[in-house]
Amino acid sequence: MSNCLVGQSGGPTVAINATLCGVIKAAKNAKQINKIYGAVNGIQGIFNDNLCDLNEIFVNEKDLELLKKTPSSYLGSCRYRLPKEFDKDYEQIFEYFKKHDIGYFFYIGGNDSMDTVHKVSLYAKYINFPINIIGIPKTIDNDLFGTDHTPGYGSAAKYVASTILEITHDSNVYNAPSVTIIEIMGRNAGWLTAASSLAGTGTLKTPHLIYLPEKPFSAEKFIEDIKVKQQENKRVIIAVSEGIKDYNGRYVCESMSSGATDIFGHKYMGGCGKVLENIVHESLKCKVRSIELNVMQRCASHIASLTDINESEYIGKEAVKAALNNETGKMMVLMRENSNSYSVKAENIDVSLSANKEKNVPDYMINNEGNYVTQSYIDYALPLIQGELKIDYINGIPHYINL
């Protein structure tokens, strides 16, 4: 019997606490596990000797349910990259593991976190330390290799689709021609921007154009695309990834930040939405507005996907099972089962297969013109946004839990 340690890392999502909830629930039920420690601010909780006792905090089921529905990382997060060489960082981590009798280590995060899992696992093997280390994926970016999709993506996708639908209703009120540009997160992978297409699966056809970072962006083509869409739509709605790049590989948003300064002489670091807004204003002289969905797309638990939240809890539980089954150096993945109706099964793969790789939107999910997704993407993504998480409200605002 030994203790387990769980940490959260990287950018927050609305599903990362559901996974933590799954880990806690399964660890509580495991005879082989004694204490359940939470590392506050990820791996930094080890360096700063900042653990919390999750058995003590989560005594009853009700608080665990609240945790499951709470956005962002309950335990806090970090962006700390372990060095390549096995140095004192590693010694410190494993001394800490030894001191606290950690036999199981679960790390919930994205690409960088899987790098941590990979390195810590290698070191454990190197010093022959008895521990089971499992990475559990989460990211709104959906860019992790080896898994059908990542926990957190479905909820962000549901937020993006629902919000674009609502923005379209808003844009449609005026009679005058207008262009609305919605900038969506995703520096290198366009998965979340692609989710905008799900807004159009109802009665309102929206957005009209979608630009992903997977395809080079041309301002001239962009304006031509809008002109074509304007022939049939007075109000053109466009979803664009923050990470679109021109044919030279330069981020479109950098084209602005390099030039503009404010009255204080600071460089203006703007998003690509603002750049495109200016291009449209200049070229088409019509009403144009750019909207950044900003952090709301990753923290709006009040419109989370029930499918995503349930899968996120499930994968946390399965991670504990895998560790108890003596797996280590693994990343949990969700595999889509071949059946008529959508279902997934958790499995695990060697974390080295996923760490430091990025999964982009494949060509067959993007149309030939590079300005929309194909039905293949919609078929892939639609199951992920199904179901609504019912959150509790107290005094008119959402009821969440915090450390």
Comparing CB distances to its own copies, the nearer of 280 and 323 is: 280
Comparing CB distances to its own copies, the nearer of 41 and 371 is: 41
Produce one character per residue of 40-65: b if its CB has 16 or more CB atoms within 10 Å, e if not.
Answer: bbbbbbbbeeebbebbebbeeeeebe
The catalytically annotated residue of 89, 112, 115, 141 is 141
Tell me how far the alpha carbon of residue 102 is from its chain's centroid: 28
Instruction: Pick the stretch among 119-127, 164-172, 344-352, 355-363 that binds its own copies (CB under 8 A).
Output: 164-172
3-state helix, strand, coil in the chain (%, to 5): 40, 20, 40
**Beta strand pairing call for 178-184 and 132-137:** unpaired
Tell me how far the alpha carbon of residue 93 is from its chain's centroid: 27
Instruction: Pick the stretch among 87-95, 102-110, 169-177, 318-326 that binds its own copies (CB under 8 A).
Output: 169-177
Q: Is 141 a catalytic residue?
A: yes
Residue 1 to residue 10: CA distance in whole angstroms: 30
- Considering only residues 188 to 207 of the shown chain, the ones binding its own copies according to CB under 8 A are 198-199, 201-204
> Does position 161 bind its own copies by CB under 8 A?
yes
Instruction: Pick the stretch among 141-149, 159-167, 186-194, 356-364 that binds its own copies (CB under 8 A).
Output: 159-167
How is residue 4 written in tokens?
Answer: 């387990």
Among 20, 33, 117, 275, binds its own copies (CB under 8 A): 275
Instruction: Pick the stretch among 56-64, 108-116, 279-287, 358-366 that binds its own copies (CB under 8 A).
Output: 279-287
Comparing CB distances to its own copies, the nearer of 289 and 321 is: 289
Residue 97 to residue 283: CA distance in whole angstroms: 61
Among 294, 343, 375, 376, binds its own copies (CB under 8 A): 294
DSSP three-state, residue 374: coil
With beta carbons less than 8 A apart as the criterion, state whether 148 and 344 touch: yes
Comparing CB distances to its own copies, the nearer of 202 and 216 is: 202
Comparing CB distances to its own copies, the nearer of 263 and 368 is: 263
Q: What is the total count of residues that contact its own copies (CB under 8 A)?
A: 78
3-state secondary structure 44-97: HHHHCCCEEEHHHHCCCHHHHHHHHHCCCCCCCCCCCCCCCCCCHHHHHHHHHH
Instruction: Pick the stretch among 20-28, 240-248, 302-310, 313-321 that binds its own copies (CB under 8 A).
Output: 302-310
Instruction: Pick the stretch among 170-178, 208-216, 324-332, 342-350 that binds its own copies (CB under 8 A).
Output: 170-178
How is residue 157 written in tokens?
Answer: 């996708």
As a whole number of Å, the end-to-end CA separation of the chain is 27
Q: Largest Cα–Cα distance of the chain, in whole Å?
A: 70
> Does position 116 bind its own copies by CB under 8 A?
no
Among 247, 262, 340, 368, binds its own copies (CB under 8 A): 262
Among 189, 256, 323, 344, binds its own copies (CB under 8 A): 256
Among 3, 150, 163, 241, binds its own copies (CB under 8 A): 163
Tell me the closest approach of the beta carbon of residue 50 to its own copies, in angstroms.
Answer: 9
**Beta strand pairing call for 2-8 and 102-109:** parallel
Give bridge partners of residue 388 from the DSSP assignment: 305
List CB contacts of 257: < 8 A, sequence separation 6 or more: 267, 268, 269, 270
- Considering only residues 372 to 401 of the shown chain, the ones binding its own copies according to CB under 8 A are 382, 385-388, 393-401
Cα-based distances in Å from 194 to 152, 365, 373: 15, 9, 6
Tell me the closest approach of the beta carbon of residue 1 to its own copies, in angstroms.
Answer: 32
Among 22, 207, 243, 270, binds its own copies (CB under 8 A): 270
> Does position 304 bind its own copies by CB under 8 A?
no
Comparing CB distances to its own copies, the nearer of 84 and 390 is: 390
> Does position 302 bind its own copies by CB under 8 A?
yes
Tell me the closest approach of the beta carbon of residue 356 to its own copies, in angstroms.
Answer: 22
- Considering only residues 63 to 82 of the shown chain, the ones binding its own copies according to CB under 8 A are 70-73, 76-79
Tell me the closest approach of the beta carbon of residue 274 to its own copies, in angstroms.
Answer: 7
DSSP three-state, residue 318: helix
CA angle 252, 141, 71 (to 5 degrees): 120
Active site residues: 141
